[in-house]
Structure 1
Amino acid sequence: MKIVIIGGTGLIGSQLANLLKDQHEVIVASPNTGINTITGEGLDSALENADVVVDVSNSPSFADDDVMNFFRTSTSNLLEAEQKARVKHHIALSVVGTQKLGESGYFRAKQAQEELIGKSSIPYSIVHATQFFEFAGGVAASSIKDGGIFVTDALVQPIASSEVAKFLAKTVSKDPICGIAEIAGPEKMPMNRWVKHYLSVMNRPSEITIEKDAPYFGAVLENDTLVPEKAVFESSIKYEEWIADPQNQ
């Protein structure tokens, strides 16, 4: 089976490529490898005789106009090339709660991406994952305001990126669901507790103020916005175990 991984040099894509390369022909696609979904460079050639395309790419800029342009252009070009190549399965990675986060420019762009996929003739599977364990530091950094850290206590159910890659690897070998599959970690926790745990392990103890309307990518969260309604997979790897490993710090 020939599999093309769009965003194949990133956090998820590189792990996915390693999982698949011994059993399949894997094309790692990114601008760094000469395959660009924005310009179209190398795209037709990469997709020739491809069976499955997995899109785990992300916008280099999260500014509202930039991210919308990225996902609309990249996804449109990719689906057009897939139609010409007669790709049998398009798999895209997205985020749990995307449909509830219309206040956010980033998530409006993800909604647009998913709409394009749904309207295409290519059979597809969209995987909605919760926040990766690796994102705790980024959440902490984005929560700094007026010299303090202000974080919502809305629930998260984070997951190890390695488990996301494993689920995508299994999805490659399955039939398209033409819908959304939600995946998550094993534990729900308030976001402020997740951030506090991360800062403690990093030896950066900080006073965290709970701010219920603290935005997440520009959107105010309800208590359960970021947790799955019906997960088809929940990892057994707990955050406290994962972060205790020095390799993950």
Structure 2
Amino acid sequence: MKITVIGASGQIGSRVVEVLTAAGHDVVGASKRTGADVLTGEGLADAVAGSAVLVDVTNSPSFEDGPVMDFFSRSSANLVKAAADAGVGHYVALSIVGADGLPDSGYMRAKVVQERTVADSGLPYTIVRATQFHEFAEAIVDSLAAGDEIHAPQARIQPVAAADVAATVADAAGGAPVNGILDLGGPDKMTFAELARTVLTHRGEHTPVVVDPGATYFGTRVDDDSLVTGAGAVLGDLRFTDWLASR
């Protein structure tokens, strides 16, 4: 089956291309580097021509509220148009668990716009929502630094390996559209404080970790359920502690 992966040069996209190619699919890896510009639409028709599936794993180069909304609004509109014009039979998009429950986050608001554009396009689709990646854990912990302490939100998080995300997106692309959302999370749910202590221990650091009810996740208030999966979710195989130990 011919499958176009848009965002193929990124952390997830490059892995999705590898998994799908290994499974025997005819894969087109497209990105701005190959001439496929999701913001202008240039090159998209060529990238999706003849493909049965389009996989959208693009991401905004800026997380600021205005630019990120502009990116996902324009890119999703251009991509669904290109997919529809090409007769693509399945649109697979990667999003974030809990996106629609965190409207104070500009990034999450933009991801919801992307999801709605895909869902309202009339194309058969699957939206894979993933929790935060193992690979982002250190940056998350570092963002919680307040002076000489780490101030952790009173909430849970469920890190998942990027490799597990890519495998799930690839599985979705090779399967039938669900015309809905598929949630994916890591095998373990933990508090932000537990995540922080695990990362700090791995780095040999002894920074005090304080659970702070006023602490936020990149400026957004979260609780025990905001960033974790519920019943029926797909769970990745690689535990965060094992991933850290392998580095």
TM over 0.5: same fold?
yes
Aligned letter for 2:122?
S
Residue aligning to 1:8: 8
Residue aligning to 1:63: 64
Question: 1:82 aligned to 2:88?
Answer: no
Structure 1 residue 147 displacement after superposition: 4.3
Equivalent residues of 1:182, 1:230 under 8 A apart: no
Which stretch of structure 1 is more off in the superposition, 64-73 or 21-30? 21-30
Which stretch of structure 1 is more off in the superposition, 96-105 or 237-246? 237-246
Which stretch of structure 1 is more off in the superposition, 227-236 or 193-202? 227-236
Aligned letter for 1:221?
V
Structure 1 residue 109 displacement after superposition: 0.5
Percent of pairs with identical residues: 39
Which stretch of structure 1 is more off in the superposition, 142-151 or 97-106? 142-151
How far apart, in 1, do the equivalents of 2:6 and 2:128 lie? 15
Which stretch of structure 1 is more off in the superposition, 120-129 or 26-35? 26-35
How far apart, in 2, do the equivalents of 1:58 and 1:204 lie? 32
Structure 1 residue 213 displacement after superposition: 2.8
Aligned letter for 2:102?
L
Equivalent residues of 1:89, 1:123 under 8 A apart: yes
Which stretch of structure 1 is more off in the superposition, 164-173 or 229-238? 229-238
Aligned letter for 1:238?
R
Equivalent residues of 2:156, 2:228 under 8 A apart: yes
Structure 1 residue 232 displacement after superposition: 3.0
Equivalent residues of 2:154, 2:215 under 8 A apart: no
Secondary structure of the corresponding residue to residue 21 of structure 1: helix
Question: 1:102 aligned to 2:107?
Answer: no
Q: What CA deviation, in whole Å up to 9, does each residue of 1:210-237 have, x standing for no partner?
A: 1223222331012211111224311232
Residue aligning to 2:143: 142
How far apart, in 2, do the equivalents of 1:49 and 1:205 lie? 55
RMSD between aligned residues: 1.3
Structure 1 residue 85 displacement after superposition: 0.2
Structure 1 residue 20 displacement after superposition: 1.2
Q: What CA deviation, in whole Å up to 9, does each residue of 1:124-173 have, x standing for no partner?
A: 00011111111111102221233432121311121111111111111112
- 1:236-247 → structure 2 map (5 Å cutoff): 236-246=237-247
Runs of at least 4 residues off by over 6 Å:
none
Secondary structure of the corresponding residue to residue 223 of structure 2: coil
- 1:69-218 → structure 2 map (5 Å cutoff): 69-218=70-219
Residue aligning to 1:17: 17
Residue aligning to 2:45: 44
Q: What CA deviation, in whole Å up to 9, does each residue of 1:8-41 have, x standing for no partner?
A: 1111111111111241121112112221101212
Aligned letter for 2:15?
Q
| TM score, norm. by length of structure 2 | 0.95
| TM score, norm. by length of structure 1 | 0.95
